[in-house]
Amino acid sequence: MYTKGMVIRMVSSFNDILKYLPPRLTDKIKLAITDTGQTFFDYRDGGDFITELRLRRGRKASLTLSSGRNIPLNVYCQSGEISCVVTRMTENSMHTHAPTVRHGYIRLPDGCRVGLCGRAVTDTMTGVGRRSSAAGISNLSEITSVCIRLEHRGTGASDGIFDILNADRFRGGVLFYGPPCSGKTTLLRDLAVRAASGENPLRVAVVDERGEFRDETEMQNALIDLLDGYPKGEGIEQATRTLAPELIICDEIGGMRDAQAILEAMNSGVPLAASAHAGSFEELMRRPPIKLLYDNFVFLRYIGISRDSSLRGGLRFLIHDSDGKIQNGTE
């Protein structure tokens, strides 16, 4: 999510992702975009731009724009075309990407994350007697949807909250919550760079399980140690043991496994900044993994985020203390 007040830098262009598509599909998508009569590429002037292309087998493809608007395209992908796209993206080696495919995504060389769904192959199907770490899913077959996110990076997202958190050097940690595409990862990425830069920087360790923080241009002048591809628990534990960080940042806390791993690793006194999906604090507390962390006082603050293009940085913040009481809203 990108809004007024952010400085946008394009990491991957729309043409970069079209190279993974077969020629017939590329031509049809370009024609379908032309047929809409709209232009979606003027990101430098604050215009709406493409953040996602989604391909579906036998169903309409679509674009998602920086404003959150979805644009259906009159393009229907054939089964062989979806397979061709995935084959190109994995460079003919699904086996190499198997650890992330079973979690529903692959990562391209430029940092783009591609979401996948299809028919799940579970351990019971393969005859394995134990469950895998991905809730019993060992692989995906018959992939039916491919969600390609274009990498654009926005700076300034933390303008409305950074000074509050940095005033006590992120003491006690913070969990940001909001619905999907509300800007949580963009915010955490901006926080990491700002906390590790400036006149009094912190040593920041970023545990980047899904490759969403990796950006050498942004991080080259910041005191950031990047643990790329580490599962959250192992990454937090290793960072604490070997890097002596003053702040640890990781992205979305998913299931109970993530929460238990974080709980086991967070006995070092190092503050943690992370995120979770929820539309409200009440929804957040109904999630068992987050309730576990809440009951064990892992975070001192819980901050809800929502879009508001009229505010500095484009985000509105609602701050809760460790007891869930609202402290104040910020701009």
Residue 237, pLDDT above cutoff 60 = yes
Predicted confidence (pLDDT) per residue in 22-34, tens digit: 998 889 888 888 8
What CATH class does 156-330 carry? alpha beta
Predicted confidence (pLDDT) per residue in 166-186, tens digit: 999 999 999 999 998 788 988
DSSP code per residue over 206-268: EEETTSSS--HHHHTTS-EEEEET--HHHHHHHHHHHT--SEEEEEE--SHHHHHHHHHH--S
Q: Pairing mode, if any, of strands 315-320 and 326-330?
A: antiparallel
For position 39, what pLDDT does the model report? Answer: 60
Q: Strand pairing partners for 228?
A: 208
Contact predicate 259/236, CB 8 Å: no
Map out the domains of the chain as residue ranges.
7-149, 156-330
Residue 331, pLDDT above cutoff 80 = no
Which one-letter amino acid corresponds to residue 199?
E
Q: Strand pairing partners for 53?
A: 63, 148
Q: How confident is the model at residue 141 (pLDDT cuts 50, 70, 90)?
A: confident
Give the 3-state secondary structure of residue 176: strand
Q: What's the number of CA atoms in the CB half-sphere (13 Å) around residue 174?
A: 25
Contact predicate 110/151, CB 8 Å: yes
Residue 43, pLDDT above cutoff 70 = no
Write out the two tokens for 257. Answer: 């496994």
For position 11, what pLDDT does the model report? Answer: 45
Q: Which residue has the higher pLDDT, 74 or 138?
A: 74
Rounded to whole angstroms, the Cα distance separating 293 from 260 reads 8
For residue 49, what is the DSSP state?
Answer: B
Non-local CB neighbours of 121 within 8 Å, separated by 6+ positions = 137, 138, 139, 140, 141
For position 40, what pLDDT does the model report? Answer: 58
Give the 3-state secondary structure of residue 291: helix
Range scoring the smallest mean pLDDT among 73-82, 99-108, 232-241, 317-326: 99-108
- What pTM value is reported for the model? 0.76
Which residue, 311, 154, 289, is CA-closest to 232?
Answer: 289
For position 286, what pLDDT does the model report? Answer: 95
Write out the two tokens for 310. Answer: 């009229």
Q: Pairing mode, if any, of strands 137-149 and 174-178?
A: unpaired
